[in-house]
Structure 1
């Protein structure tokens, strides 16, 4: 716990979702030049890092990050743990993501809920909890934590905890994407209270408006970033804040590289003000 007046030492990262397809050396150069100590890698076949990488390339990527003194915060995968259907293909996809994280030295993998709106809520919760429970021991053996993101069918902390509570395993936790709980009407203090025992890291972002999710510079939009940082600071949380700038889905958005240093300065200012 930080002392009064001392900013909590949260660590800053950015997601490669903001620089679609960019080669790893260029991603690392951006991180170093702009004062970021971590990167979240979008683990998708469109990107340089994905579960199809061979062992040699995995070792090369891990070595590139080590040489640059930049950490891989996590792998942003696309497994949908509450989706209807057989467990086997979902668990196989998740296992491949966990093995990639192990090989790269990444501590976390992100999964989505992805529940079907046509199913009863309890059924989606049970599907997700069952699969995460089955994958938890694999994750533990590989030294990786699975993080369920506040997203789609489970946008709030209250939604996520309905799944995480029954799983009850230290290798299954939560990723707080600050946008989705806010859009669903949940206050940052309530999201934190629900997720705190399970929280892996936090994705920060900003958007033009509740009706226009075009990404904008941190502090230039409507999301309650100051309140989120204040809640985290008040509780002495010292994990990663990762800027997820959704350039991949919004091609007309401003390029991320020019925004990285101003974003770092904005978050640093919020941390100082919340001390």
Structure 2
């Protein structure tokens, strides 16, 4: 968990005062919502073309980042759409230069539900904004504001957009205060859509008015909210949002911001090893070299996502697969949910029969997330070799491409399992391969098999919290991968490799 604060809290402070406060009180980052009298941050002095390099260097030297730029763009007003788009594009350009991951946008302006908002129109305009987000490698975050403090409604909108570049900003206050949502409900509704969090505290008076309070002195159940986030392994930002007018007797940001840092200290995750700088001084890595790591594969991926959220994991242009590390993890998590939906349990064996395609990596990392074992199959296998491996390894689920060169994997699996012709996907009862239940074909649609897309759709049947529940039972010495020897002196033998083996 990382902590930050919005510059909305300190409009009278200089930029030097702001980053000094963040450094002194061990904040991880600063959310930018205007500076001084300039609410449009793009025009603020530290972010002008002349000063931007100095700003970036200063933040880097202090170990601070700008994770989110909060725009004032609101999408509900049709007549102001072009104005909103122009603002969002300007913020996206700045975010790209700063290395900021997120841009906050509003789909409804008021904190509490009020006037009507056309969900279909919001979906339409968000889709129009996706190319901007993709061009500048940022994610647009729709805040849980107004009618979208009903997070089930917001989730439907995000489902309609179908883009990894549009997600949710959970303002912890609004769904609880204005929609009576329990923290568990919000997290269940939004799940992995939650990429960034804002927080503030308050009480509700008998007359229905809200009185904002310094953190921990109101009745917003922050502890329960963080516990709910633990079920989805959220390790992003919680950022304080504060406005002077909310509490005139405590208007000074010099009181409110340090108090928030102290309040959140028990929830911050401290890493044993800080980032290491390479010998050239032009890059960083998370762990000292020649150091044994007691981490599982999911632990490794989480750390990389946390430290390098904007770095690409894949730019696979031939297959139209470009992902940052967090976006790749989202794919991994979704396929992990799909495997659980198919009945794959911890310790079960999942075989991958494919060349260098994205689904290979997604399958590998998804199995490690739920404690299953990836069985790697030689791409040159013929029918007798494939049959031996699948039977000897007790493979339950097979993910495969159509084939390579003159080897047709689909024909091979149909010959091994003629029962596929008359069975539903996921219900294979094979005489020759009795353990095999699920076959997933990446390239084509075949009887008795899930396509990759159909398999991914199954993820909707399993909450992400179930993935995390299983993940917490994984030990570094659990088997993660089974690799078969070449078999030059007999039948191939399965070598069992643990998380500890392969990570190190």
The equivalences for 1:230-269 within 5 A come to: 230-247=227-244, 250-269=247-266
Task: Identify the match of residue 194 of structure 1 among 176, 189, 193.
Answer: 189
The equivalences for 1:152-191 within 5 A come to: 152-183=146-177, 184-191=179-186
Distance 2:155 2:134 in 1: 20
Contact kept, 8 Å, 1:21 with 1:47, in 2: the verdict is: no
The equivalences for 1:1-275 within 5 A come to: 10-43=1-34, 46-47=37-38, 50-53=41-44, 54-85=48-79, 87-114=81-108, 119=116, 121=117, 124-183=118-177, 184-209=179-204, 211-247=208-244, 250-269=247-266
Contact kept, 8 Å, 1:18 with 1:244, in 2: the verdict is: yes
Q: Secondary structure of 2:148's partner?
A: coil
Contact kept, 8 Å, 2:8 with 2:34, in 1: the verdict is: no
Q: Secondary structure of 2:105's partner?
A: strand
Task: Tell me how far 1:63 sits from its aligned partner.
Answer: 2.7
Contact kept, 8 Å, 1:109 with 1:146, in 2: the verdict is: yes
Distance 2:104 2:35 in 1: 12
Task: Tell me how far 1:186 sits from its aligned partner.
Answer: 1.2
Task: Tell me how far 1:213 sits from its aligned partner.
Answer: 3.8
Higher relative contact order (CA 8 A, sep 6+): 1
Task: Return 124-133 or 247-256, whichever deviates more.
Answer: 247-256
Task: Tell me how far 1:244 sits from its aligned partner.
Answer: 1.1
Task: Tell me how far 1:267 sits from its aligned partner.
Answer: 2.1
After superposition, give the CA deviation of every residue in 1:186-242 in whole Å (9 maximum; x if it has no partner): 111111112222111111211243645443221111111111011112332111111
Contact kept, 8 Å, 1:206 with 1:217, in 2: the verdict is: yes
Task: Tell me how far 1:49 sits from its aligned partner.
Answer: 6.4
Contact kept, 8 Å, 1:230 with 1:271, in 2: the verdict is: no
* Aligned CA-pair RMSD: 2.5
Structure 1 length normalisation: TM-score?
A: 0.85
Q: Residues 19 and 98 from structure 1, CA distance in 2 versus in 1: closer, same or farther, beyond 3 angstroms? A: same
Q: Residues 130 and 21 from structure 1, CA distance in 2 versus in 1: closer, same or farther, beyond 3 angstroms? A: farther
Unaligned runs of 5+ in 1: 1-9
Unaligned runs of 5+ in 2: 270-504
Q: Which of these two proteins has the greater Rg computed from alpha carbons?
A: 2
Distance 1:144 1:248 in 2: 31
Task: Return 80-89 or 46-55, whichever deviates more.
Answer: 46-55
Task: Tell me how far 1:148 sits from its aligned partner.
Answer: 0.3
Task: Tell me how far 1:52 sits from its aligned partner.
Answer: 2.7
Task: Tell me how far 1:42 sits from its aligned partner.
Answer: 0.4
Q: Residues 248 and 144 from structure 1, CA distance in 2 versus in 1: closer, same or farther, beyond 3 angstroms? A: farther
Task: Tell me how far 1:88 sits from its aligned partner.
Answer: 2.4
Q: Which runs of 4+ in 1 moved over 6 A?
A: none
Q: Secondary structure of 1:110's partner?
A: strand
Structure 2 length normalisation: TM-score?
A: 0.48
Contact kept, 8 Å, 2:13 with 2:36, in 1: the verdict is: no
Q: Secondary structure of 1:51's partner?
A: helix
Contact kept, 8 Å, 1:151 with 1:180, in 2: the verdict is: yes
Contact kept, 8 Å, 2:91 with 2:103, in 1: the verdict is: yes
Number of residue pairs aligned between Structure 1 and Structure 2: 261
After superposition, give the CA deviation of every residue in 1:119-156 in whole Å (9 maximum; x if it has no partner): 4x4xx212221111111121111011100000123213
